[in-house]
Homo-oligomer: A and B are copies of this chain.
Amino acid sequence: MGNTFGHLFRITTWGESHGGGVGVVIDGCPPRLPLTEADIQPDLDRRRPGQSPLVSPRQESDTVQILSGTFEGLTLGTPIAMWVRNEDARPDAYNEMATKFRPSHADYTYQAKYGFRNWQGGGRTSARETVGRVAAGAVARKLLRVQYGVEVLAYVSQVRDLTAVVDNERVAAEQIESNPVRCPDPEAAARMAALIEQTRRAGDTVGGFVQGLARGVPPGWGDPVFDRLEADLAKAMLSLPACRGFEIGSGFSSVLMTGREHNDAFTVRDGVVRTVTNRSGGIQGGISNGEMIWFRVAFKPVATVMHEQATVDVNLQPTTLRGRGRHDPCVLPRAVPIVQAMTALVLADHALRHRAQCG
């Protein structure tokens, strides 16, 4: 259980780090959407390890294949199955993990839950699991763009204590992709890159924030009381490896304001109800209000470090473990396409839900 996400635009992911591959089935995508592998591969390339010195060096081409659900370049309305074959399988590199629990990884909890686990590369707990999410998210993004004019963006807004200055209303994808950190503030990006590189050399890791944005969402998406738009976004983000927190709009900082200071006054622009400020993050009462949706996602420093750490083995004996080989100093640049993907999946689902009940 737990590997399906969405109510109407619904995805089911599968696959372990080592084994046949990783993939996803999308059920509920509307028919007649133009779709080929060329719509999906670029996002996978952005998620892929080894794309820059800043990220994990694992070498896989991650070439996606659409196995069903399209015909002559259009979606059929039937399930869209996509997969990426595993290539860089080096099970020997993980032999130690067969018997030792890596600190702050999921080795122990998987063992405790299932009584058994694929310890090669972390199995299902590997970040490789997100391949299916990114592939499905690319389809959702295309649907949102083509049918609704919605644009979904994400970027790295903070690495450790280094913060970027960005105009969320105007930032463009090109600016984000202009550097390997995926931070659209060039100066901050340079400092972040230096910090990541320095952290890598120290065999350590560093976390930070990814900023998520959705522009063009019309008023009315979101299903109170439980499936509020921000609730589904929060779940989507907290379902990501290494994610530790989520805030919508003014978020945590809202607690320092009074109600008078915080409220978004209504006004009319171009014959449409708008808010003067947008502390609500584009969502009020769980429903989009037509303003830009903005939120922030916290990622902890990833757990694999190149230093000896105290742990225990499967026989409950104290031991130590030291990361080797594949060390990803900062998950943030690769988290950007994943956050985009999950955002798009939530929005596509709610677009269809809105059409169903209120269309």
Q: Is the interface of A mostly helix, strand, loop or mixed?
A: mixed
Q: A109-B284, A287-B106 are in contact. Are A27 and B8 (CB under 8 A)?
A: no
Measured between beta carbons, the chain B residues less than 8 angstroms from A38 are: none
Q: A238-B228, A301-B257 are in contact. Are A356 and B8 (CB under 8 A)?
A: yes
Q: A14-B68, A301-B257, A305-B260 are in contact. Are A115 and B312 (CB under 8 A)?
A: no
Measured between beta carbons, the chain B residues less than 8 angstroms from A105 are: 284-285
Q: Are B79 and A14 in touch, CB under 8 angstroms?
A: yes
Most buried by B among A110, A233, A283: A110
Q: Are A284 and B224 in touch, CB under 8 angstroms?
A: no
In the assembled complex, the Cα of A204 lies from the Cα of B260 at a distance in Å of: 6
Q: Are B250 and A244 in touch, CB under 8 angstroms?
A: yes
**Smallest CB separation, A67 vs chain B (Å):** 3
Measured between beta carbons, the chain B residues less than 8 angstroms from A354 are: 113
A71 touches which of B81, B116, B247, B260 (Cβ 8 Å): B116
**Smallest CB separation, A118 vs chain B (Å):** 4
Measured between beta carbons, the chain B residues less than 8 angstroms from A222 are: 2, 109, 113
The verdict on A343 contacting chain B, using a C-beta distance below 8 Å, is no
Measured between beta carbons, the chain B residues less than 8 angstroms from A227 are: 1-2, 239
Copy total for this chain: 4
Measured between beta carbons, the chain B residues less than 8 angstroms from A150 are: none
In this complex, what residue of B is CB-closest to A233?
A: B238
Q: Are A284 and B113 in touch, CB under 8 angstroms?
A: no
A12 touches which of B25, B257, B358 (Cβ 8 Å): B25
Measured between beta carbons, the chain B residues less than 8 angstroms from A158 are: 255
**Smallest CB separation, A262 vs chain B (Å):** 5
Number of interface residues of A (CB under 8 A): 154
The verdict on A145 contacting chain B, using a C-beta distance below 8 Å, is no
**Smallest CB separation, A95 vs chain B (Å):** 14
Q: Are B358 and A352 in touch, CB under 8 angstroms?
A: no
The verdict on A58 contacting chain B, using a C-beta distance below 8 Å, is no
The verdict on A32 contacting chain B, using a C-beta distance below 8 Å, is yes
Q: List 22 A-B contacts (CB under 8 A).
A: A2-B286, A4-B226, A14-B80, A19-B71, A30-B357, A31-B115, A32-B114, A71-B116, A71-B117, A103-B265, A104-B263, A106-B285, A109-B289, A113-B219, A113-B221, A115-B358, A205-B260, A206-B259, A209-B255, A234-B237, A234-B246, A265-B309
User: Which 10 pairs across A and B sit closest by C-beta, in order of nearness?
Assistant: A106-B285, A2-B223, A20-B67, A245-B247, A205-B259, A2-B227, A356-B356, A235-B235, A109-B287, A112-B219
